[in-house]
Amino acid sequence: MAEFTMELNDEQKEVRDWLHGFAADVIRPAAAEWDEREETPWPVIQEAAKVGIYSLDFYAQQYFDPTGLGIPMAMEELFWGDAGIALSIVGTGLAAVGVLANGTDEQIGTWIPQMYGDADDVKVAAFCSSEPDAGSDVASMRTRAVYDEAKDEWVINGTKTWATNGGIANVHVVVAVVDPELGSKGHASFIIPPNTPGLSQGQKFKKHGIRASHTAEVVLENVRIPGSCLLGGKDKLDERLARARERAKSGGERVKNAAMATFEASRPAVGAMAVGTARAAYEEALEYAKTREQFGRPIIDNQGVAFQLADMRTQIDAARLLVWRASWMAVNGKPFTAAEGSMSKLFASETAKKVTAQAIQILGGNGFTREYPVERMHRDAAIYTIFEGTSEIQRLVIARTLAGMPIR
């Protein structure tokens, strides 16, 4: 087990500085353009692929960092550059992690390379879980997968929503119901290969923030895929469903939902994204306050401004520490007995919203215009209290964990 430390080692610092340079030199100069265009920033993703950031190898190296700080460090730096572009770069990782967590070695080797493509022909992937009537309430999912034993095929019907890269992805990973009586325990994940008939893009959302990240509905109409596209395989699924049915008979439905436990472990990464956005806004506000003069002196000389900056920095550092603690706990197998993953995501996301709003206030009228980036950062920050579990859901998870109640 790696000892907990608040000091990055030399290798981590080198990676951090490399990522920061890419964010400063490539992401930031492109941020305003792609926010206005509301399109996937393919040229930036290609640049990330050329230098090795947009690749499974890079994220695997950070994920297996024994300190647990590789992923949050990477997320903070990329999202410091710009949240929308950064999400376009890391969004494929959601689908890749789904395959890594549930797939066989053959499925991992077959599909993950197709999710990324290469530097000359980059691809993206989409993870499709949420539905119009099933966001936080995953048990209400309606997308259905039915097994056609005669043809060894799965037939999938339903509509997914809020899918990052939905419809433009080379590979889609779709969560569907295989046994409605088991609720959330009756779900399974499937690979939808490129150009599969029946899969189409529905509504593309015009969003308040993170506009450079493509978000859309994914419609599945009698989508037929080979049996080999069930992640983990049919034998493993049948065994899992059988165990779930036995638990349900014996009152096992009160056992903590495994999917919710997985979300709990992944939430620090979202917290790190929020820290990156908050830090970017704070730095803009600090520099502005040091150079903007009113009444013959820099506005940072006024306590009303200086105290805001002090609070902003304190909240950002506290959020980072919560994220780092939860990340270290996750990689070292420490149980989240107080929902520390949700704590980190809750505090960091609320901090990002508050800090970006304060940055606009410090910049005054300039902060309200698109000539300065804090306006965009404030719009982007709104997503952190919504996706990967709303702030209300985080509080519910924390409260139920503290009370010793199951999370469903």
Residue 3 lies in a domain: no
Domain end point (choices 89, 122, 155) = 122
Report the alpha-carbon distance of residue 233 to residue 23 in Å, rounded.
Answer: 39
Residues 306 and 380 in one domain: yes
Report the alpha-carbon distance of residue 185 to residue 207 in Å, rounded.
Answer: 32
Domain end point (choices 71, 87, 122) = 122
Residues 16 and 118 in one domain: yes
- SS3 string, 229-266, reads HECCCHHHHHHHHHHHHHHHHCCHHHCCCHHHHHHHHH
* R_g (Cα) of the chain, nearest Å: 22
Residue 285 lies in a domain: yes
Note down pLDDT in tens along the chain; length 408 residues: 666 677 889 999 999 999 999 999 999 999 999 999 999 999 999 999 999 999 988 988 998 899 999 999 999 999 999 999 999 999 999 899 889 888 999 999 999 999 999 999 999 999 999 998 866 666 678 999 999 999 999 999 999 999 999 999 999 999 999 999 888 889 999 999 999 999 999 999 999 999 999 999 999 999 999 999 999 999 999 999 998 888 877 665 443 444 454 455 578 999 999 999 999 999 999 999 999 989 999 999 999 999 999 999 999 999 999 999 999 998 888 888 899 999 999 999 999 999 999 999 999 999 999 999 999 999 999 999 998 889 999 999 999 999 988 766
Tell me how many domains the chain contains.
Answer: 3
What would the pLDDT profile of 204-221 be if each residue is shown by its tens digit?
A: 999 999 999 999 999 999
Residues 283 and 364 in one domain: yes
Residues 240 and 135 in one domain: yes
Q: Which two tokens stand for residue 48?
A: 């990330």
Residues 15 and 76 in one domain: yes
Residue 4 lies in a domain: no
Residue 31 lies in a domain: yes
Find the domain containing 180 and state its range: 125-252
The amino acid at residue 100 is L
Domain end point (choices 102, 122, 142) = 122
Q: Are 354 and 318 in contact (CB under 8 A)?
A: no
Residue 407 lies in a domain: no
Residue 5 lies in a domain: no
Q: Are 53 and 89 in contact (CB under 8 A)?
A: yes
Residues 169 and 97 in one domain: no
Give catalytic residues, as residue numbers. Answer: 388
Query: Which CATH number belongs to the domain containing residue 274 in this structure?
Result: 1.20.140.10
Residue 223's DSSP bridge partners are 156
Residue 369 lies in a domain: yes
Query: Which CATH number belongs to the domain containing residue 21 in this structure?
Result: 1.10.540.10
Residues 208 and 223 in one domain: yes
Residues 171 and 105 in one domain: no
